[in-house]
Amino acid sequence: MRIDIITVLPELLDSPLGHSIMKRAQSKGLLEVHRHNLRDYTPYKQGQVDDYQFGGGAGMVMMPEPLALLIEKLQAERTYDEVIYMTPDGKNFDQKTANRLSLKGNLMIICGHYKGIDERIRQHFVTMEISIGDYVLSGGELAAAVVVDAIGRLIPGVLNDETSALFDSHQDGLLAPPVYTRPADFRGWKVPDVLLSGDPKKVDEWRHEQALKRTEERRPDLLED
């Protein structure tokens, strides 16, 4: 999979995409993440990529021309399954969306800044708009990193145990059950006996019951869906 990220602050993506599982995915050649500094593609002086909004109002808007030039350059080199814009008014990002996007070949992600990007770019280039929550960040870079991480870890071969992701929270519409590790008795706090029973069927039944219970307690809205 290849992901191209358009940003005015590529250095913000260095740490989240350069360590741990994302580093492993790229080192194995399973995931390519390319960061493109929008300021390198603007025809305006001093790397200008934003301007005042028509009609007045506080906040700058990312100009259409630099974005269009870079998007068209990338599209001339390859076909993209989705051109994604990270925006607070996009569709809420969830596990189902991550699963679907992990099956794609090429993705482009546009990171907004200021008051966002010119609407004409959204109308003519963007095919998918994503929000990671009902709040506003200073820019789309951190949100893009979240999306890339959620997608990248699902690519076969990225995780050491490929079945691990199948049992994450939200994969089956439920929250994950409690988990325990050694020692079995810590300060008198003991691991449930069923997990020490050696009976896979009983363990699976317990985990499902606990997942239902935890979801009902913490996210009953998931059960309604």
CATH number of the domain that residue 188 is part of? 1.10.1270.20
Residues with Cβ within 8 Å of 41's Cβ and at least 6 positions away in sequence, in order, are: 66, 69, 70, 73
pTM: 0.90
88 and 190 together in one domain: no
Angle between helix 141-152 and helix 20-27 axes, rounded to 10 deg: 60
Residue 104's pLDDT is 98
Residue 166's pLDDT is 57
pLDDT at 160 over 90: no
37 assigned to some structural domain: yes
Average pLDDT over residues 29-57: 95
187 assigned to some structural domain: yes
Measured at the CA of 30, the angle between CA 26 and CA 31, to 5 degrees, comes to 55
Residues with Cβ within 8 Å of 137's Cβ and at least 6 positions away in sequence, in order, are: 143
Neighbours of 207 (CB within 10 A): 17
Per DSSP, the chain holds a count of helices (H) and strands (E) of 8, 9
203 and 124 together in one domain: no
Q: How high is the mean pLDDT of the chain?
A: 94
- Counting the structural domains of the chain, the total is 2
- Which pair of structure tokens corresponds to residue 212? 């239902």
Q: Is the peptide bond before 64 cis (omega within 30 degrees of 0)?
A: no
118 and 73 together in one domain: yes
d(CA 121, CA 224) in angstroms, rounded, equals 37
d(CA 108, CA 129) in angstroms, rounded, equals 11
Residue 163's pLDDT is 53
103 assigned to some structural domain: yes
Residue 172's pLDDT is 78
210 assigned to some structural domain: yes
57 alpha carbon, distance to own chain's centre = 31
pLDDT at 170 over 80: no
- Dump pLDDT digits (tens) for 92-137: 999 999 999 999 999 999 999 989 999 999 999 999 999 999 999 9
CA dihedral 140, 142, 148, 154 (to 10 degrees): -140
Confidence label for 164 from pLDDT (cuts 50, 70 and 90): low
Residue 33's pLDDT is 98
86 assigned to some structural domain: yes
Average pLDDT over residues 195-216: 96
Average pLDDT over residues 28-33: 97
46 and 111 together in one domain: yes
- 147: helix, strand or coil: helix
pLDDT at 37 over 60: yes
pLDDT at 141 over 60: yes
SS (H, E, C) 150-201: HHHCCCCCCCCCCCHHHHCCCCCCCCCCCCCCCCCEECCEECCHHHHCCCHH
Residue 165's pLDDT is 59
123 and 183 together in one domain: no
Structural domain for 103, as ranges: 2-152
Confidence label for 167 from pLDDT (cuts 50, 70 and 90): low
Average pLDDT over residues 53-68: 95
